[in-house]
A and B are shown apart, each in its own frame.
Chain A
Amino acid sequence: MMVELAHHLYLLVAVLGLALSVSYGGQPVLCQGAFLAVGGFGVAHLERAGLPLAGAVLVGAVLAACAGYLVGLLTARLRGAAVALSTWAFAWLVYAVLDAFPTVSGGSQGLVRPSPARLHSPVFDVTVTLTPLAHVVVAGSMCLLTLAMVARLTRGPAGLEWAALREAPALATSLGVPVLRRRAALFATTAAVAAVSGAGITVLLGVAAPSDVSPLLSLQLFVAALIGGTARLWGPVLGLLVIAVIPPLADGLAGAAGLPAEASGGVLTAVALVAVPLLRGPVERFAGRWPERTRRPGEPVEDTEDLAPRTAASREAVVLTARGLDVGIGETDILTGVDLEVRAGQVHALIGPNGSGKTTALRALAGALRPKGGRILLEETDVTGAGQLEMVRRGVTRTFQRTVGLERLSPYRQLLLGVRGGSPVPFAAVRHLFASESMRDHAAAADREAWRALRLTELAGRASDRPGDLGAGEQRLLQVARAVATGARVLLLDEPAVGMTGPERVVLARVLRRLAAGGAAILLVEHDLALVHGVADRITVLDRGRVLATGTPESTAADPAVRRVYLGDTDPSSARG
């Protein structure tokens, strides 16, 4: 009885670890059993090699974390479906390897632990005998510790990044969150927790057997994390229900109905597992999903100087330059020989008909697309081929054409995400977890930056509202605000006025001028020519991937080629198709 309870609690630890990847990271990870195996067999082998138990568990956890980081990196770019497939295949691969190499797994009998379940600390001269009761205490405390750590992490910088990873990975990248590394790190943590849990089970049962870490266990843990991980309070309870209560209950029911207990219990368990995903929606509505802490951030006293220009020295200096940029997507050439100069303190509008390559130009400048030819210079530095993350670090941030929302983060928290992405603090999550003193200064600075961006974009009044309550125009403004929050010197804005009403466009124009006056260099892709002519200092017109004209609003408006493309002034000799 105690043994079973301890076993289930250890499995619950694995579920709580898995919830990091599944519920918080949004990745369908189906190989938790494989990492349990790393811990379980690892401990048995390491102890045979002469390591003390604690050391063996630690080494096992580190090994699993490395394996998890590797698998995480390999799967980080994949779609959810492909992540599920590869982790499921990995679970079966590990199982097949255990089956194929009895020297590793001890064959169907498993590996028996050599030493008795006794912990001796030479430092304190204490010996603890690991009775089942001791295991229950250890596993239970591990559950509580994992829960507390996850809860603390969620409230800190990591929680912000996880929300972005889960809901809008592309947005996260554009704000400077290293999505691939974060996913891999989550994977590694998940694996390390699993390994500790696996080691605990091996010590508890005195044997590591392949059948205890079959891929079916991975499935069971996944389902438990799926239903349990979504609710903070109910999570562990529901998770425990799936792993510990349903199987024996099913066996019992089958036995009571006079059926062969084990076989028909398996059927009932399978039915329950089929039903759990279907029940997930109702459970989430009932239990509430990732309740956002509703602590309203206190707005600091208005500090007008804070909005003053920061880089007054370099007004009108060229910040971002494209020279002869050729960009293609796949085999299709989109841009050919595009030259562009964006200056500090200016709004530079990029206009052109649909399909002329405006968004592609923004993506290339932001580092999201690698140009096939030409160069991109940031001030004097050649940044051709630098990735999005590096460009954000260097102060170049873009927004998206469509509205990308983070439904569960208030505007203030979304801006904090931008601040963190723009100037990342090394090991922020870990330092937050251990309440490092230096993190308080960082948090205070981030708070100031977020409020500054909110004020610059006139969203301060909406700081702690639900994003869903913002109007369509405010949502667009919020996108700009997130980019501003990264501390960008160059803002690449893709049609920020889409869906805005007339008055909202006035606000946007005012915000853009204010940002430019603050020293930012703004490249604005926009179809609303009235807005463009109202705010732009310079205009570049693209047509079919080439620069048609560039100059002041007046000169481009007068350009005959521009008039032909834009206004349909047809010259019968040149217009065909």
Chain B
Amino acid sequence: MSGGVALQAILSGLALGAAYGLIAMGFTLVYRLTRVIAFAHGDLVVGGVFVGVLAVLGTTPVAAAPGLARSAGLAVLVVAAGAALSAGVYFIAVRPFLPGAGHRSTGGDVLGWVAGGLAAGLLIREVLGLVLTQDAYAVPDPLRLGRLTPSGVLQLPGGGTVAVRTLGVIGIGLAVGILVERLLVLTPVGTAMTAVSDDPTAAALLGLPVRRLVLVAFVVAGALAGLAGLLIAPDRSLGVDDGVVLGLKAMAAALLGGLGSVRGALAGGLALGVIESLIVASDVLGPRFADVVPLAILLIVLALGRQGLRSSLREDPE
């Protein structure tokens, strides 16, 4: 792989990784507050994008570029749809199985929310599949970043090129990610969420509305998933069934980030994006390893992860 190709791969990997990072942030946020692994999270990305597109265009996606008003509407709708779907999944598939306040040590009904989350994801895919019958669709780009330069691409030193859009995606992804992370640290709601993630029993005893904060976490996570979909969907064709692997990759990113912090999730997303992009560009491995390696990373990190991560994932010895 030449230097120019590598640089190009790293940049597009960072763009992909920014999106992974946003999804992983929501995943981490939900996990920290509830110890629930949001199995439907990847489907929220795809669901948000397609619900938004169908609502704005009224038809199945076409590659035509929408106008300014439609672009803005599409962007808002996709994010809102992600948030709404996430709240819906929470109500039908997670909340019934959560332990009562103060019983988190039991983990609630794990078998219940695992099955519920997976089935909810399947439901999203099946409902979308009613309308979207093709394997994959080209999704219009509401961000219109490609129009900043005449050709839409920039020359890189070493011979590669990079789309202006890619740089924009990196910028927006990082900006939103850092903004959300700061909001979680600095605002009262964010502080309350930290309290719930540290000790839900104590938080409930202090009078914090634990259930409502959990709902807020799901909504924020869904909105981030929708935004991530908005960032990556136009670069590739998107299929209804792509959500699961997307979600698993985001989980791998969250685990690479240690599962402890929202910041770590963003960093883990960037790392995973670059790894995947380099694999695809590599002469030895190639695109067919694009899914295999991240899934293997997820398994390896789960089984052999470092100490802090292990202790949060392993059973209490007592």
Contact = CB atoms under 8 A, between A and B. Distances in A.
Given A170-B318, A274-B116, A216 B122 contact: yes
A270 B96 contact: no
SS class, residues of chain B in contact with chain A = helix
A82 B118 contact: no
Interface residues of A, number: 50
Contacts of B288: 99-101
24 contacts: A78-B302, A79-B313, A79-B314, A80-B107, A81-B37, A81-B107, A81-B110, A81-B114, A82-B37, A84-B37, A84-B39, A85-B302, A86-B299, A86-B303, A88-B248, A99-B288, A170-B315, A170-B317, A226-B115, A266-B126, A267-B129, A269-B126, A271-B123, A278-B116
Interface in B107-128: 107, 109-116, 118-120, 122-123, 125-127
Interface of A: 22, 26, 28, 30, 74-75, 77-82, 84-86, 88-90, 92-93, 96-97, 99-101, 169-170, 173, 215-216, 219, 222-223, 226, 260, 263-264, 266-267, 269-271, 273-274, 276-278, 280, 368, 400
Interface stretch (B14-22, B208-216, B290-298): B290-298
A78 B39 contact: no
Contacts of A85: 37, 39, 251, 298, 302
Contacts of B93: 274, 277
Nearest to B315: A79
B245 interface: yes
A90 B299 CA distance: 7
Contacts of B115: 28, 219, 222-223, 226, 273, 276-277
Nearest to B303: A74
A89 B245 CA distance: 9
B302 A86 contact: yes
B130 A263 contact: yes
Interface in B175-204: none
A92 B245 contact: yes
B292 A84 contact: no
* 8 closest A-B pairs by CB: A80-B110, A273-B119, A270-B123, A100-B288, A74-B303, A93-B295, A82-B313, A96-B291
A397 to B, nearest CB: 15
B245 A264 contact: no
Interface residues of B, number: 50
Given A82-B313, A274-B93, 4 more contacts: A85-B37, A263-B130, A263-B133, A277-B111
B260 to A, nearest CB: 14
B87 interface: no
Given A86-B299, A267-B130, A93 B292 contact: yes
B244 A77 contact: no
Contacts of A226: 111, 115
B299 A267 contact: no
B316 interface: yes
Nearest to B120: A274
Nearest to B122: A270
Contacts of A216: 122
Interface in B295-312: 295-296, 298-299, 302-303, 310
Nearest to B292: A96
A61 to B, nearest CB: 23
Contacts of B314: 77-79, 82
Contacts of B120: 274
B318 A96 contact: no
Nearest to B116: A277
A263 to B, nearest CB: 5
B122 A28 contact: no
A27 to B, nearest CB: 9
B144 interface: no
A99 B315 CA distance: 34
Contacts of B109: 277
Nearest to B34: A81
A170 B318 CA distance: 6
Nearest to A268: B126
A75, A88, A89, A170 interface centre (most CB from chain B within 10 Å): A89
A28 B114 contact: yes
A273 B122 contact: yes
A85 B113 CA distance: 12
